[in-house]
Structure 1
Amino acid sequence: MDYSDPNAFTLPYQLTKQVRRDVYPLLEPTQPELSAKGKTVLITGVSGGIGKVIAESWATAGASGIVITGRNVDVLESVATRLQSLVPPGTKVLAQAADITSEDSVAALFAAAKEAVGKVDVLINSAGSLEGGAVGGADPTKFFNDFQVNVLGSYLVTHHFLAQADGVGTVVSFTTGAIANVFPGMGGYTASKLALVRIMENLHVEQPNIRVFMLIPGIVQTGMTVDSLKPYAKDSPGLSGSWTLFLSTPRAEWMRGGIVSVNCESAF
């Protein structure tokens, strides 16, 4: 592999000839085909860079209700202010801090969501953890924090989403192309993301009326990006936001239960 190629870690996961690294006309949140009118969405991990942009995409697309959560209250309030400037009149925005690894906290999150926006139609599991550290070298508690957030946290949020979904809804969970490789120092992260994929695959089979998707966000420059991958971090977080909108539409039915990369070219 030519590691001087900026697409070295992107091309192996593509199913389309065209590789997209930024939002393009068909995936602009303003497109009528991506309208979120009448839909309510709950987005985790909004304290991070990708989650914030996902929320902005849903606001631009006119969602009727947007619930954002994360641990950083100040960031959530700032994002909520930004969303209020983007949403159409009547859209409800709730910023609710939560620790997704605590069931009590997640239960409180959904109780607040019910009061603010009613039933949540779409869940986007974008919260994630990448502690880093070699197997046998990393502190076990730190190593398994990736499992606490990426597996337990995503499961708890999904569990409570399903409890209020009445058997119908959409779940988009973020995974990573790194699950197909071995990256030294990322064992906890890749193993936990692989475990999340299998849980989502089971959900897809067990509840056929729940639309399940797993999304690879590409390589985005965030606080979680490891140094070795920073030269390849050329993907826009807006691409992830647009793809979550696309996956919530009937056009994505054929992708249900599968893993899709944001770098692939979508077709309407």
Structure 2
Amino acid sequence: MDYSDPDAFTLPYQLTKQVRRDVYPLLEPTQPGLSAKGKTVLITGVIAESWATAGASGIVITGRKVDVLENVATGLQSLAPPGTKILAQAADITDEASVASLFAAAKEAIGKVDVLINSAGSLDLGPVGAADPAKFFRDFQVNVLGTYLVTHHFLAQADGAGTVISMTTGAIAHVFPGMAGYTASKLALVRVMENLHAERPGVRVFLLIPGIVQTEMTVAALKPYAKDSAGLSGGWTLFLATPRAEWMRGGIVSVNWDIEEMEAHQDQIIRENLLGRAFLNAKLGKDGHPWT
């Protein structure tokens, strides 16, 4: 791998020839095709701005830091159209009582949640055997248990329908020394979501790789390669909540992939199951999959 290449950690997971690192016209939240009017979304992370700009009827944001949530909510209110209901509710997603309270508050303040975006995550570094077990399994607590609890309570109020988008990582396809807790927990999450897709045909399930974004969780070694905007993930979640993404249901997709190029090869992608777990079928790489 050429570590001097700013795309060194992006190209190995590339399905399309076109590499996307920022919002492009198809994913602009202001364009009518991505309108979120009439939808209520619950987001366990930091990509709510796109939903406010797209005119969501209700936005629920959650996290552990009240002050951060309140600041985000203020910003969302300035972006959202009049009438959008915004709820900032602190919660510990690894605690079921806290998650139950979150959904109770959402129901009272806004009503039914239509779209769930599981974007909260944990990444603790440490080699197997040397990492403290409690720290090692913190990634499983947040990435698997936490996501499951939020999804569980979402489904309980969803009346058999809705959209669930869960963030995963391209790193599940490789071994990265020191990141076993993170990659293994994200791989486990993929299997949970695959089961949800198979078991609940009325629920639209997607797994999204958000690329490498500069956040507090970004590993120091990856910061030089963190070229992807958070807005790109936001635009993708809006897109996945539309009928146009119906054919991608149950699959793993990446924000770095070009949607229109994917659509041009939709039949092949479906026929060869190129969005399947662990990239067993797609030949990902610098030049994208060799389309036929």
TM-score class, shorter-chain normalisation, is over 0.9
* Counterpart code for 2:217: M
| Correspondence for 1:260 | 253
- RMSD over aligned Cα, in angstroms? 0.8
2-structure distance, mates of 1:181, 1:206: 28
1:210 aligns with 2:195: no
| Correspondence for 2:181 | 188
1:8 match: secondary structure: coil
1:3 aligns with 2:7: no
Give percent identity, aligned residues only: 84
| Displacement after TM superposition at 1:85 (Å) | 0.6
Pick one of 54, 62, 73 that aligns with 1:61. 54
| Displacement after TM superposition at 1:3 (Å) | 2.0
Pick one of 113, 116, 119 that aligns with 2:106. 113
2:245 match: secondary structure: helix
| Displacement after TM superposition at 1:116 (Å) | 1.1
| Correspondence for 2:23 | 23
1-structure distance, mates of 2:161, 2:222: 38
1:223 aligns with 2:216: yes
Mark the runs of 5 or more structure 2 residues left unpaired by the alignment: 264-292
1:233 aligns with 2:222: no
Q: TM-score, structure 1 length as denominator?
A: 0.96
Mark the runs of 5 or more structure 1 residues left unpaired by the alignment: 46-50
| Correspondence for 2:275 | none
| Correspondence for 1:37 | 37
* Counterpart code for 1:189: Y
Q: TM-score, structure 2 length as denominator?
A: 0.88
| Correspondence for 2:90 | 97
1:96 match: secondary structure: strand
* Counterpart code for 2:200: Q
2:141 match: secondary structure: helix
1-structure distance, mates of 2:3, 2:72: 36
| Correspondence for 1:153 | 146
1:230 match: secondary structure: helix
| Correspondence for 1:48 | none
1:212 match: secondary structure: strand
2-structure distance, mates of 1:119, 1:265: 32
**Deviation string for 1:32-89 (max 9, x for gaps)?**
00000000000003xxxxx1xx101000000000000000000000000001111111
* Counterpart code for 2:253: V
How many residues matched?
261
1-structure distance, mates of 2:211, 2:81: 30
* Counterpart code for 1:92: K
| Correspondence for 2:238 | 245
| Correspondence for 1:139 | 132
**Deviation string for 1:110-153 (max 9, x for gaps)?**
00000111100000000000011111111100110000000000
* Counterpart code for 1:177: G
| Correspondence for 1:12 | 12
| Displacement after TM superposition at 1:100 (Å) | 0.3
2-structure distance, mates of 1:24, 1:216: 17
2:33 match: secondary structure: helix
59-68 or 181-190: bigger deviation: 181-190
Poorly superposed stretches of 4+, deviation over 4 Å: none
The structure that has the greater radius of gyration is 2
* Counterpart code for 2:242: T
2-structure distance, mates of 1:255, 1:7: 25
1:69 match: secondary structure: strand
* Counterpart code for 2:8: A
2-structure distance, mates of 1:15, 1:34: 23
| Displacement after TM superposition at 1:156 (Å) | 0.1
